[in-house]
Structure 1
Amino acid sequence: MSAEARWLTMTEERAWRGLLRMHDLLVNRAGRSMQEGFGLSATDYTVLAELTRAPDDRLRIQELAQLLGWEKSRVSHHLARMVKRGLVAREECADDRRGAFVVVTPAGRSAITAAAPRHVEDVRRYFLDHLTPGQVTLLAEIADLVIEKNEEEH
């Protein structure tokens, strides 16, 4: 690390702070909509969405943590709350006694099936409808690149 900090330019700071503010705004709005309409937090919805994309609606807990970009302890704590509410269940892994799977329950499947149309509507209303198709494509490319480069370093 160099002795002198590479301070952000005004435009770089605006981009960074704007990204953080936009993320918080969108997550809060979409989360509030999910909570009010379906009793799901934004985090619940994200977990259920990842699980329902997986074969047989199940993933190892470590795989889920990787997909979400969360520490394993955060995933475990959140899953414990979801288990209590009947949205997911833990299953032992027959091949590896140390590992466990998390699987969507019928109640969890029902919850995400009911919530998904509103979620898509919210994504459009709060985010996509304000952008041109070219901006959406550019943002997707930027996100892919930043994620890829950061995963390479990690």
Structure 2
Amino acid sequence: MTTRWLSPEEQRAWRAYIAASALLEDTLDRRLQQEAGLPHLYYSVLAMLSEAPDRRLRMTDLAEVLKITRSRLTYAVARLEKDGAVRREDCEWDKRGSVAVLTDEGMALLERTAPGHVETVRRAVFDHLDPGQVEQLERICTGITKALQGDGTETVTPDDLPWRRRSCPSS
């Protein structure tokens, strides 16, 4: 099989993406740590739960929404649970599963933290894009996500998707 090397244009785009995504994640993490002592992932857990019906989601569904492994989510939820922001309950319809529930304390934390987070996202990303570029960014990211999740052109196995993996790969 012949390697399909990146063209110079693709290489520049790839490196720009890597730089932007690393710096954006660092910026979001630093701001949230300073404001609320939360890493970006923990904030995302709170935000997703706040948008769910009754502020609750099955852990597996929450992992899928966040695009992370179940073990990583379990660790994050355990920390948020310890801080009183989230609680876990047994899943009524699946005895093997559990449900993450956003507490009133977690909602208050999210409401205090959200304005600063949104301002950081706006300054870091959207203030630099015109409406057409925002639309392009959405289409590009949606296309990449669909391809990685299996858009019908490739077979995606459960181990290809983080939230379906049985365990983390060993290093």
TM-score (normalised: structure 1): 0.93
Structure (1/2) with the larger helix percentage: 1
Runs of 4+ displaced beyond 2 Å: none
Query: Match of 1:86, as an amino acid?
Result: G
Partner SS state of residue 122, structure 1 = helix
Structure 1 unaligned spans of 5+: none
Counterpart of 2:70 in structure 1 is 72
1:43 counterpart residue number: 41
Alignment of 1:94 with 2:92, yes or no, is yes
Inter-partner Cα distance in structure 2 for 1:17 and 1:89: 40
Secondary structure of the residue aligned to 1:59 is strand
> Partner amino acid for 1:138?
Q
What amino acid is the match of 1:51? L
Structure 1 vs Structure 2 CA RMSD: 1.1
Q: CA deviation at 1:117?
A: 0.9
- Distance in 1 between the 2:82 and 2:11 partners? 42
Q: Deviations over 1:97-146 (max 9, x none)?
A: 11100011111101101111111111111111111111111111111111
- Give ranges in structure 2 of 5+ residues lacking alignment: 157-171
**Cα displacement string for residues 3-58 of structure 1 (whole angstroms, at most 9, x for unaligned residues):** 11101112111111211211111111121111111222111111111111110111
Partner of 2:126: 128
The Cα of 1:79 is off from its aligned counterpart by 1.2
Alignment partner, residue 61 of structure 1: 59
The one-letter code sitting in structure 1 at the alignment partner of 2:140 is: I
| CA–CA separation in structure 2 for the residues paired with 1:18 and 1:85 | 37
Residue 21 of structure 1 aligns to a residue whose secondary structure is helix
CA deviation vs aligned residue, 1:58-115 (integer Å, no higher than 9, x gap)? 1000001111111111111111111111111100112221110001111110110111
RCO higher in structure (CA 8 A, sep ≥6) = 2
Question: What amino acid maps onto 1:47 in structure 2?
Answer: V
TM-score of the superposition, structure 2-length normalised? 0.85
**What residue is the counterpart of 1:21 in the other structure?**
19
CA distance in 2, matches of 1:107, 1:39: 15
Distance in 2 separating the partners of 1:134 and 1:142: 12
**2:140 matched to which residue of 1?**
142
**What residue in structure 2 maps to residue 115 of structure 1?**
113
